[in-house]
């Protein structure tokens, strides 16, 4: 058998399948490590890199004769960029072991290993640990001499890092000078990261620059990628524009206690001292005693993971006692006294099998990538949203692409980016359809909006439940008792396919539904019959035309007088209506241009739905024009809706809150805090008689 010095060149090896796989893994990991650490352009998710790394470790353990100094398992990270000065770390920046068992047994296994190394029995006390967050950022070493920041270096390959002092000085959280009493030499280690809100704001600025045609701009894949890119900017002025943050979690070289350095007994005490010196330390750091408390910490942080303002991919456990840390020591390049306990990966690689377009309850069209099943974020994912046409085009997702998929907690899975080098030949660019894939009505994208929407709201089966609930609500035609659960049953059982089917319901169909007694069924039928007698504003509002609310429906009815006049009005004519602008006019016109929608309206009329119609309202001056009124309490004869209709018909507006801009407060019996507020502000207060007099 060939012998090999670890630091010599690798001798000739047998041409076996296992050896070829080992060589291929090394090449892949070198390429991925270079892209991740040096170019700041990751090509695979962390979970995929970890899987390949573990496979290589296993092969090398089985075949130690194939060991090589250039294996990725013998180094911590990538090489420094040539553009920065290379700096040797006084104390190597080593990695810690990763516990890939994401369940509670991962914490139990670590505690068991520590207890075994310390030769503790079951009767001995629990080991005390410090539990911390595992940040997803860029490791940094800050060197202070006589209390002044003199150098900041990246981890690099663990032995040598990059001097990025000028860029690190731009991070406001990192102190440039420390208080009196700190050691003459102090190296503080921590993580440079970017908050999620800062990351989103940065990417929004980048998108605006790209849209403005600025060359060389790009958006970033994730906050870690953005933070690393900022730290490695050659121009500190550009780095200063990137919102970076920092957390401290450890020490490098420190003047020893015998020469005036600090004396710490525990890791937790060291963190608290760093905090007192002005370094930010994560608030989530905690003491945990034994495996039970480690498990509780892991679960607690896991539940909060998606609400944290920054990304983490796990937690870190460290033996708290520094004396015990020294006793436990290291194995190869990893401390026995610490471990990183990960959570289920939130990003994974998979393949796009197809791109479908789904229609939501409100008619919104959403492109959805159909994926080869992949386990990510604790569940198997087969679909991922592409949000809208702009996002699908920006990410350039195509059928056949290998993509990075992300799922965090309850967030809908989404495609983060495409692995461009794996794109299949002749992959076609995605094009958003301009026809609804469900009902074939026109799909339109209004000016200033990102989404396409189906215009067949009364006909489209995807919008059926939403259309019925909107039509039957109290402010529309009002079908008392027709709520979400009943509509769900009626639609799912295919009893109702469109709005006119409501008025064709029979007692047997209703009574056959779950938890629907004969008396309840009769009540629904009576409510349906009552709803046939409505008003034109209520009917128009009930149709669910996009941008047409109650106030606009009233103005349309007042201006045109009849439904046919509204349905046949041109965009130019609609623009003559108060409260109707170009977007609303186009939406109304598009809605009534769809034959399906007109057919539903005619069927509703045929079912007996009716309302009073008349001549268009006089366009002369209105007595309450420009006034804002607030209603409070119960009026003697007018209901709240009737009073509101009268006020709006006279040109006034009804508000739900009292302010200095309120013209009048109309108060009935049992008026509450609104009346008190009106008196406090010295506003005019009317009763019902005063309102009717004002309306004259």
Q: Report the C-alpha gap between 311 and 200 in whole angstroms.
A: 13
Contact 665, 632 (CB under 8 A): yes
Q: Which of 79, 116, 134, 586 is catalytic?
A: 134
Indicate the pairing of strand 379-385 with strand 364-376: antiparallel
Task: Check if 465 is active-site.
Answer: no
Residue 55, C-beta contacts closer than 8 angstroms, at least 6 positions apart: 25
Contact 416, 396 (CB under 8 A): no
Contact 113, 152 (CB under 8 A): no
Contact 441, 365 (CB under 8 A): no
Among 114, 197, 188, 199, CA closest to 151: 188
Q: Report the C-alpha gap between 426 and 398 in whole angstroms.
A: 10
Count of beta carbons in the 10 Å neighbourhood of residue 670: 9
Contact 436, 359 (CB under 8 A): yes
Q: Report the C-alpha gap between 666 and 687 in whole angstroms.
A: 6
Count of beta carbons in the 10 Å neighbourhood of residue 423: 14
- C-alpha distances (whole Å) from 44 to each of 29, 220, 231, 404 are 10, 14, 21, 7
Helices 595-606 and 582-593, axial angle in degrees (round to 10): 70
Q: Report the C-alpha gap between 455 and 177 in whole angstroms.
A: 63
Q: Which residue has the tokens 């509703």?
A: 604
Q: Report the C-alpha gap between 249 and 567 in whole angstroms.
A: 68
∠ Cα 590 591 596 (to 5°): 120
The pair of three-digit structure tokens given for residue 417, joined into one six-digit string: 């980016």
Q: Report the C-alpha gap between 473 and 283 in whole angstroms.
A: 48
Residue 463, C-beta contacts closer than 8 angstroms, at least 6 positions apart: 359, 360, 361, 362, 363, 454, 456, 457
Residue 603, C-beta contacts closer than 8 angstroms, at least 6 positions apart: 498, 499, 500
φ, ψ (nearest 5 deg) of residue 681:
-90, -5
The pair of three-digit structure tokens given for residue 74, joined into one six-digit string: 């013998």
Count of beta carbons in the 10 Å neighbourhood of residue 403: 24
SS3 content of the chain, % helix, strand, coil (to 5): 40, 20, 40
The terminus-to-terminus CA distance of the chain in angstroms comes to: 109
Contact 229, 193 (CB under 8 A): no
Contact 513, 524 (CB under 8 A): no
Query: What residues form DSSP beta bridges with 254?
Result: 186
| Catalytic residue annotation | 134
């Amino acid at each position: 058998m060939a012998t090999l010095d670890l630091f010599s060149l690798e001798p000739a090896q047998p041409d076996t399948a296992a050896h070829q796989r080992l060589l291929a893994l090394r090449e892949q990991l070198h390429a991925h490590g270079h892209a991740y650490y040096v170019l700041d352009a990751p090509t695979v998710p962390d979970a995929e890199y970890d899987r390949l790394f573990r496979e290589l470790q296993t092969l090398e353990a089985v075949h130690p004769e194939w060991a090589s100094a250039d294996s990725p398992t013998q180094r911590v990270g990538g090489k420094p960029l040539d553009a920065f000065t290379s700096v040797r770390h006084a104390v190597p920046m080593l990695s810690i072991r990763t516990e890939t068992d994401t369940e509670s047994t991962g914490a139990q296994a670590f505690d068991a290993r520590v207890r075994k190394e310390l030769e503790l029995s079951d009767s001995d006390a629990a080991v005390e640990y410090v539990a911390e967050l595992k940040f997803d950022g860029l490791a940094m070493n800050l060197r202070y001499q006589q209390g002044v920041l003199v150098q900041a270096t990246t981890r690099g390959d663990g032995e040598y890092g990059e001097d990025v002092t000028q860029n690190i000085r731009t991070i406001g959280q990192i102190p440039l000078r420390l208080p009196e009493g700190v050691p003459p030499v102090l190296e503080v280690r921590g993580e440079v990261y970017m908050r999620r809100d800062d990351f989103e704001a940065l990417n929004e600025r980048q998108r605006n620059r790209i849209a403005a045609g600025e060359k060389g701009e790009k958006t970033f894949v994730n906050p870690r990628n953005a933070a690393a890119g900022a730290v490695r900017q050659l121009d500190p002025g550009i780095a200063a524009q990137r919102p970076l943050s920092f957390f401290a979690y450890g020490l490098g070289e420190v003047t020893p206690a015998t020469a005036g350095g600090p004396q710490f007994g525990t890791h937790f005490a060291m963190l608290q001292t760093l905090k007192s010196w002005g370094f930010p330390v994560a608030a989530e750091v905690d003491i945990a005693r034994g495996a039970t408390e480690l498990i509780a910490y892991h679960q607690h942080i896991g539940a909060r993971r998606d609400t944290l303002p920054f990304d983490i991919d796990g937690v870190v456990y460290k033996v708290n006692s520094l004396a015990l840390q020294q006793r436990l020591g290291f194995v190869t390049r990893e401390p026995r006294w610490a471990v990183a306990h990960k959570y289920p990966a939130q990003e994974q690689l998979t393949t796009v099998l197809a791109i479908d377009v789904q229609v939501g309850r409100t008619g919104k069209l959403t492109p959805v990538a159909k994926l080869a099943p992949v386990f990510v974020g604790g569940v198997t994912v087969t679909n991922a949203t592409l949000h809208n046409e702009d996002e699908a085009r920006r990410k350039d997702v195509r059928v056949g692409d290998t993509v990075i998929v992300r799922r965090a907690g309850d967030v809908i899975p989404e495609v983060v980016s495409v692995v461009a080098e794996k794109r299949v030949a002749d992959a076609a660019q995605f094009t958003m359809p301009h026809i609804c894939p469900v009902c074939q009505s026109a799909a339109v994208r209004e000016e200033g909006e990102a989404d396409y929407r189906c215009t067949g709201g009364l006909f489209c089966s995807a919008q059926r439940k939403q259309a019925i609930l909107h039509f039957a609500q109290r402010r529309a035609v009002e079908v008392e008792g027709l709520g979400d659960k009943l509509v769900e049953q009626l639609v799912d059982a295919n009893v109702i396919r469109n709005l006119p089917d409501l008025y064709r319901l029979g007692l047997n169909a209703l009574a056959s539904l779950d938890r629907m007694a004969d008396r309840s069924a009769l009540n629904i039928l009576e409510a349906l019959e009552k709803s046939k007698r409505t008003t034109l504003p209520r009917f128009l509002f009930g149709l669910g035309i996009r941008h047409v609310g109650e106030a606009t429906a009233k103005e349309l009815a007042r201006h045109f007088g009849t439904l046919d006049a509204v349905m046949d009005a041109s965009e130019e004519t609609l623009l003559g209506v108060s409260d109707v602008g170009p977007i609303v006019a186009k939406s109304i016109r598009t809605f009534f241009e769809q034959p399906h929608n007109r057919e539903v309206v005619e069927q509703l009329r045929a079912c007996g739905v009716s309302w009073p119609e008349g001549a268009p309202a006089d366009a002369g001056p209105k007595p309450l024009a420009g006034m804002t009124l607030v209603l409070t309490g119960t009026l003697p004869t007018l209901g709240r809706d009737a009073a509101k209709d009268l006020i709006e018909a006279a040109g006034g507006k009804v508000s739900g809150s009292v302010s200095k801009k309120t013209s009048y407060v109309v108060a009935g019996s049992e008026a509450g805090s609104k009346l008190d507020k009106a008196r406090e502000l010295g506003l005019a207060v009317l009763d019902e008689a005063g309102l009717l007099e004002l309306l004259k």
